Chains A and B, each alone.
Chain A
Amino acid sequence: GAGVSQTPSNKVTEKGKYVELRCDPISGHTALYWYRQSLGQGPEFLIYFQGTGAADDSGLPNDRFFAVRPEGSVSTLKIQRTERGDSAVYLCASSLGGLAGGQDEQFFGPGTRLTVL
């Protein structure tokens, strides 16, 4: 596809359950980012991948959150033992990366709206 895609678009789960959110970046983009956006707020950084490795995971709120990008393309954000406070829109973005590092434009996907009941 031409843009960043995310699945599912909506996810409703119960407190304590495990969820996985998927992101397909733009083909050829080596940098991938996850952000979380609560209602009425700006997005907050969670984690940044350059290739397969997490170059910066300092935004992950706690050890219930984990993300992988095993082949340097698709990424999965995993949340264990979900809590009501995890409810938010989870946004993925990608950029060319490489020599430009994080200096270039980030292209965002439509997001996954997670609701924890």
Chain B
Amino acid sequence: SQQGEEDPQALSIQEGENATMNCSYKTSINNLQWYRQNSGRGLVHLILIRSNEREKHSGRLRVTLDTSKKSSSLLITASRAADTASYFCATRETSGSRLTFGEGTQLTVNP
């Protein structure tokens, strides 16, 4: 079953704009991870944020985590056409090792 819910389901922006995607989840987690996927294959790991962290940066990516609201956001700054892809959040619960994925946000960056 899917735990995470991503919002929005689809996002279309112009190159150079910022893109923000949100993720909500239901259970207690150990960490939350964001992945990118092109053309339905090959998930690429973007960033991992642990439950005791509130914010993390990696290049043009900024991730926040609010465990009280059970939500996370992914911000991509200065977007590029090459950022066009599906973005998924995935949670690792405090018990177990599986990742539980949301249904993803389809981001389109128009040149």
Measured CB to CB, the residues of A under 8 A from B are 31, 33, 35, 37, 39-45, 48, 50, 55-56, 59, 89, 91, 93, 101-103, 105-111, 113
Chain A: which residue is nearest B101 at the CB level? A42
A-B CB contacts (within 8 Å), total count: 70
Residues of chain B lying within 8 A (CB to CB) of residue A109 = 42
In the bound assembly, the distance between CA atoms of A33 and B33 in angstroms comes to 16
Residues of chain B lying within 8 A (CB to CB) of residue A113 = 41
B contacts with A, residue count (CB < 8 A): 26
Q: Does B88 lie at the interface of the complex (its beta carbon under 8 Å from any beta carbon of A)?
A: yes
Chain A: which residue is nearest B46 at the CB level? A105
> What are 5 A-B contacts defined by CB distance under 8 Å?
A42-B102, A101-B97, A102-B96, A103-B31, A110-B42
Q: Does B44 lie at the interface of the complex (its beta carbon under 8 Å from any beta carbon of A)?
A: yes
Q: Are A102 and B2 interface neighbours, CB within 8 A?
A: no
In the bound assembly, the distance between CA atoms of A31 and B1 in angstroms comes to 22
Residues of chain B lying within 8 A (CB to CB) of residue A55 = 97
Those 5 A-B pairs whose CB atoms lie nearest each other, nearest first = A102-B97, A42-B101, A108-B43, A45-B98, A110-B42
CB 8 Å contact bits of B79-111 with A (1 = contact, 0 = none): 000000000101010001111111110000000
In the bound assembly, the distance between CA atoms of A44 and B104 in angstroms comes to 12
With A31-B97, A48-B97, A59-B98 known to touch, is A105 a contact of B45 (CB < 8 Å)? Answer: yes
Residues of chain B lying within 8 A (CB to CB) of residue A43 = 43, 88, 90, 99, 101
In the bound assembly, the distance between CA atoms of A39 and B44 in angstroms comes to 18
Residues of chain A lying within 8 A (CB to CB) of residue B40 = 37, 39, 89
